[in-house]
Amino acid sequence: MEFNSVIHGENLVKKYKKFELNIPTLDIPEGFATALIGENGAGKSTLMDILAGIRLDFKGHLQFFGEFDEKDREKNPEVKMRIGYEGTGMYYMPTWTMQQGKDVQALLFDTFDGKRYDALCEELAIPVDPKKKINTLSDGNQMKLKLAGVFSRETDFLILDEPASPLDPLMRDKLCDMMRKYLLEKEGKRSILFSTHNIADMEAVTDYAIIVENGKIVEQGFVEELKEKYIVVKGEGEDREKVKEILYTMNENPYGFEGICLAEQLDALAGMKVLTETPSLSQICVAVMKKNSKLFQQKEG
Amino acid sequence: MEGKRKNFNIHTHKYLWSDLYIGLELVAGPVLLILIAAWISRQDMPYMVVLVLEGILLLMVDLGLDSLIMGGILDRDQKFGLLQSSFYGKKLFLQGLLLDHVRRFLQYTLVFGATGMMIYPQMMSDFPDRGVGFFVGYMLGGILLLMATAEAMVLLLRRQETLMQIWMLLGFLSPLTSLPIIIHVFTFSFPDTRISPWVICIADAFLLGIILWISQKAHCYQYDWALGLIPRKETPEDRTWNMGVFIAFAFGLNFLMVPLMYLGYREGMDLSVFLVAQMFYPACGVCLAKLFSRSGGDLPRFAYRVVVEATCVLVFCCIYSIPALSLEKVFELEGATTGMLMYTVATAVVLVGSIAFLFSGVIGFTKAGRFRIRQAGLGCSKVWLSLGMIVLFFVLYFGRVAIITGIEAICTKDFTVLTDTFAGMFMGEHSKAIWFGVLLNLPLTFLMFFGEEYGWRYFLQPVLQKRFGMIRGVLLLGVIWGVWHVAADFLYYSDGSSGLAMCLQQLITCVSLGIFFGYAYLKTHNIWVPVMFHYLNNNLIMVIAQDASETVIQGAEVTFGMLPVSFLGAVVFMIFIFAPIYRKKEALESLVADLTPSEEWYEA
């Protein structure tokens, strides 16, 4: 599928002592919600920090909204104004109270809407106490507060780092609703990039998926396309040795096996008694991650 | 919005800890201070105690501010997603901190004013001819310096991975007393001039500007560090800045001290303390330049700070040591003793500094600071070659002694001089004690010699050699090094009448030693080799003269007739100019490459 990219990156390299993020080209589709999926330490947060301008020591080029580069982001207030960022770790200063958090956001972002923020706080059931220190809130409530902050601004692109992790299932559903609504408000103009470990819960809102493994993009595409590209194969015990080679993953049980392979390799299975099914995004991700994970390969080797 | 953004303090604090903190800062501390001041004003005690107490309170308050209230935001590795994702984040971050400074400045003006009222009568009885303006300027300057010191301390402390060190307190005391000293310099040395209070106030305003500028720069650095904008390596733009600061300190400070030295010389005081301080200026220039350069790179900050702070204390020791300027009135000292007293203090500073520096080396090796140490050129590479070089230096040094005494023997036809000198060195009455002293002094005083060599060999030599060529560069360095000693030549080393001859002699020594030191440094890439040479060169003279006191190098009578002899002696070092390494440009490149390890080296 053809698309315009809201962020285009080239040769993004960030080296750490034992880890290297290396992405030759990065394209985030405009008008869609993109999920960034990968193991812990795969480089998701680093990539998001680079895009949001939290880390500036990387090599490579970025283009935002088709017109600004990474230098414009630091010079032109408009760019950062149009990007909403929610990150893990120290997001607020450790000293801030809830009231201060709100005041500071109003100062930091011209489009911050205080009334909308209050309404969102209520909607998300955050126990609002202006004098309470943000640090003392529970993880879930802190996340809700951060989300209320980014969603009460007029932005065109959201970067959300693990928004679903600390939330309960009900809130995750609510988050998906909010993201959908956000995208619908300006159809085709707004985009979201979020990282997640809860692929199943967030599948409803995922249009495009980027799977990152060990600092590299190992698979990406629209969810519909990915579902056509991969296929679930179920079969009986006696065929398992023959199919093992083409399957990405294989779960065995006394009655038979179940695994995922590329749809184009299905011909190799001709003549066998197998059932095929459309995989879920979660199944695809696990399969691709397993295939590329360093950890898993070491175990198998 | 823009207006509101202009005076918003994002660091305002409102909760339990902050209540305790504000209690300490606004109520308990000031009340205690005022009570103590009131008590002191009734006792026969120096009012300086009040100033010191004020300083301690401020330091405590600043430490509390960062660790209790701001949750350690001054720590350089903190990152704050919300601030950094906004275009105005940095501005608000800095502005909040600076607003806090201004608030505390006003607050302390009040507190210090109140305590000042207590000690005012006492102070005025000490300086009866001064007006209120002098007093106000004195107090305001005191506050500013106290604040700046406390701020700098906290910033440095937060940036440092180690625990609080005793050294900090020493450093803390040094700037603490600086403004009073500056005023003393004027008021005591020129008792007839009355400084207008306006001058003092303008000076204070100037000081405030500088302090805020430094503070802002330090905080900027910290924010940029969190963003990853501070590269680990030096950038080309830094080089001009580094050179400027180096020249300002190594030469500017050196020549600024000349009038003071002359003043002391005229009063017949002991100038040793100036010589000690002088040796620190080059390294201090390098360290300050690197500490405050825009990108700076990853530095062994603790070691650098030791050098800078030791220099600060030593400079103040120099100022104090001049009888006409000193705080005799405050400390009630006899005029003639101040020089020696300050020399003792300076020796202690060198001793503590050397040990602290060694300590920093240990930290560096255990805490993966190898990159930093190597980048700063402090590494100890090519150990065996280095040891060989030191042996070679011994041989050459005694060779030079042999040539000079040999010529003397030929001229006087008295060959016992030759045997006496060498026999005395190893079998004299005190020779064992002196040799032992030379050995023992090494770990306790090496910082002085590091102070010079780090500036000359590590910093200046590669620059000059790159610019003027391998041979011309090292010769020029020798000349610069020699000329740098000019004030000491006239006022310290020589007996007054033979200054010019001493200068020429110094030039011969510096150029010849410069050639050999440079040769050894190019060969070994190890700064500790020239440091060791310099140490030996300055200390072996005691072995030769069989005299371990400072007077051995003072007030020598040098005649022009001795110069050719010195020159012939120096030839043993000069011949190294023909060493093949001085013909190879690659030697310099490999030295520079060794001092700037690549990212790959770091990653490995």
pLDDT confidence of residue B164: 34
Q: Which positions 107-126 of A are in contact with B (Cβ < 8 Å)?
A: 107-110
pLDDT confidence of residue B367: 47
pLDDT confidence of residue B365: 56
Q: Is B80's CB within 8 Å of A90's CB?
A: yes
Residues B431 and B562 in one domain: yes
Q: Which residues of A touch B603 (CB under 8 A)?
A: 15, 17
The sheet with strand A274-277 has its strands ordered as: A249-253, A256-262, A230-236, A274-277
Looking at per-residue pLDDT, the higher value among A165 and B136 belongs to A165
Residues B459 and B518 in one domain: yes
Looking at per-residue pLDDT, the higher value among B203 and A254 belongs to A254
Please enumerate residues of B whose Cβ is less than 8 A from a Cβ of A.
1, 4-5, 8, 10-15, 69-73, 78-89, 92, 227-229, 231, 599, 603
Please name the residue that has the structure tokens 């030593």: B314
Q: How confident is the model at residue B160 (pLDDT cuts 50, 70, 90)?
A: very low
**Chain centre to alpha carbon of residue A248:** 23
In chain A the domains, ranked by start, together with CATH numbers, are 5-214 (3.40.50.300), 226-300 (3.30.70)
Q: How confident is the model at residue B440 (pLDDT cuts 50, 70, 90)?
A: confident
Smallest Cβ–Cβ distance between B1 and the set A92, A110, A131 belongs to: A110
Q: Which two tokens stand for residue B362?
A: 């240990």
Residues B478 and B534 in one domain: yes
Which range, A202-206, B19-23, B561-565, has the best average confidence (pLDDT)?
A202-206
pLDDT at B528 over 80: yes
pLDDT per position as a tens digit, B172-198: 443 434 444 445 444 554 455 455 556
Collect all residues with Cβ–Cβ distance below 8 Å to A39 and sequence separation of at least 6.
A213, A289, A293, A295
Q: Which two tokens stand for residue A92?
A: 């607020």
Residues B5 and B59 in one domain: yes
Encoded amino acid at B419, one letter: T
pLDDT confidence of residue B439: 86
pLDDT at B478 over 90: yes
CA distances from B490 to B187, B256, B275, B534 (A): 28, 16, 12, 21
Q: How many CB pairs under 8 A join A and B?
A: 103
Q: Stretch B352-379: mean pLDDT, rounded?
A: 72
Q: Stretch B84-111: mean pLDDT, rounded?
A: 79
Q: Is B79's CB within 8 Å of A89's CB?
A: yes
Q: Is B80's CB within 8 Å of A92's CB?
A: yes
Name the average pLDDT for chain B.
75
DSSP reduced 3-state for A35: strand
Looking at per-residue pLDDT, the higher value among B77 and B344 belongs to B344
Percent of chain B whose predicted confidence (pLDDT) is above 70? 67
Query: Last residue of some domain: B230, B247, B276?
Result: B230
Encoded amino acid at A231, one letter: I
Quick one: which of B364, B231, B226, B227 has its CA closest to B298? Answer: B231
CA distances from B51 to A187, B32, B54, B55, B423 (A): 67, 13, 5, 6, 57
pLDDT confidence of residue A159: 94
Q: Stretch B229-255: mean pLDDT, rounded?
A: 80
Distance from CA of A200 to the nearest CA of B (A): 27
The whole domain housing B69 covers 1-230
Mutant choice from B86, B92, B222 vs A, greatest count of A C-beta within 10 A: B86
| ipTM given for this complex | 0.84
Separation between Cα atoms, residue B588 and residue B461, nearest integer Å: 10
Residues B411 and B318 in one domain: no
Smallest Cβ–Cβ distance between A108 and the set B13, B82, B599 belongs to: B82
Q: Stretch B278-294: mean pLDDT, rounded?
A: 85
Please give the helix or strand (H or E) that residue B125 lies within, else none: helix B89-126
Q: Stretch A182-210: mean pLDDT, rounded?
A: 89
pLDDT at B324 over 70: no
According to DSSP H, which parts of chain A are helical? 44-52, 70-75, 77-82, 98-108, 114-123, 139-151, 169-185, 199-202, 223-229, 240-243, 281-292, 294-300
Residues B10 and B146 in one domain: yes
Question: Which residue in chain A is spatially nearest to B604 when comparing CA positions?
Answer: A17
Global pTM?
0.65
Query: Last residue of some domain: B230, B262, B297?
Result: B230
According to DSSP H, which parts of B127-227 are helical? 132-159, 166-176, 178-189, 197-227
Separation between Cα atoms, residue B219 and residue B319, nearest integer Å: 32
pLDDT confidence of residue A59: 87
Q: Is B73's CB within 8 Å of A87's CB?
A: no
Name the average pLDDT for chain A.
86
Residues B355 and B398 in one domain: no
pLDDT confidence of residue B9: 75
Residues B532 and B561 in one domain: yes
Q: How confident is the model at residue B602 (pLDDT cuts 50, 70, 90)?
A: very low
Which range, A263-267, B115-119, B151-155, has the best average confidence (pLDDT)?
A263-267
DSSP B556: B
Lowest mean pLDDT among B21-25, B194-198, B220-224: B194-198
Residues B360 and B397 in one domain: no
Q: How confident is the model at residue B396 (pLDDT cuts 50, 70, 90)?
A: very high
pLDDT confidence of residue B179: 46
Quick one: which of B522, B525, B524, B554 has its CA closest to B541? Answer: B554
Percent of chain B whose predicted confidence (pLDDT) is above 90? 13
Looking at per-residue pLDDT, the higher value among B199 and B53 belongs to B53
Lowest mean pLDDT among A40-49, B305-314, B576-585: B305-314
Query: Last residue of some domain: B198, B230, B262?
Result: B230
Lowest mean pLDDT among A224-228, A269-273, B491-495: A269-273
DSSP reduced 3-state for B469: coil
Asked whether B425 and B544 are in contact (CB, 8 A), the reply is yes
Mutant choice from A102, A107, A143 vs B, greatest count of B C-beta within 10 A: A107
Separation between Cα atoms, residue A250 and residue A239, nearest integer Å: 12
pLDDT confidence of residue B583: 87
pLDDT per position as a tens digit, A73-114: 888 888 999 999 998 877 888 778 888 889 889 989 989 999
Backbone angles phi, psi at B371, to 5 degrees: -60, -50
Residues B310 and B241 in one domain: yes
pLDDT at A279 over 80: yes
Residues B411 and B502 in one domain: yes
pLDDT confidence of residue B354: 87
pLDDT at B287 over 70: yes
pLDDT confidence of residue B67: 62
pLDDT at B375 over 90: no
- State how many domains chain B has: 3
pLDDT at A208 over 90: yes
Please name the residue that has the structure tokens 């090796």: B365
Residues B429 and B513 in one domain: yes
pLDDT confidence of residue B351: 86
Neighbour-count burial of B432, counting CB atoms closer than 10 A to its CB (0-12 exposed, 13-18 middle, 19+ buried): exposed
Looking at per-residue pLDDT, the higher value among B142 and A162 belongs to A162
Quick one: which of B401, B93, B313 has its CA closest to B225? Answer: B93
pLDDT at B165 over 90: no
Q: Stretch A270-299: mean pLDDT, rounded?
A: 78
Separation between Cα atoms, residue A88 and residue A78, nearest integer Å: 24
Quick one: which of B191, B287, B226, B264 has its CA closest to B491? Answer: B264
pLDDT confidence of residue B163: 31
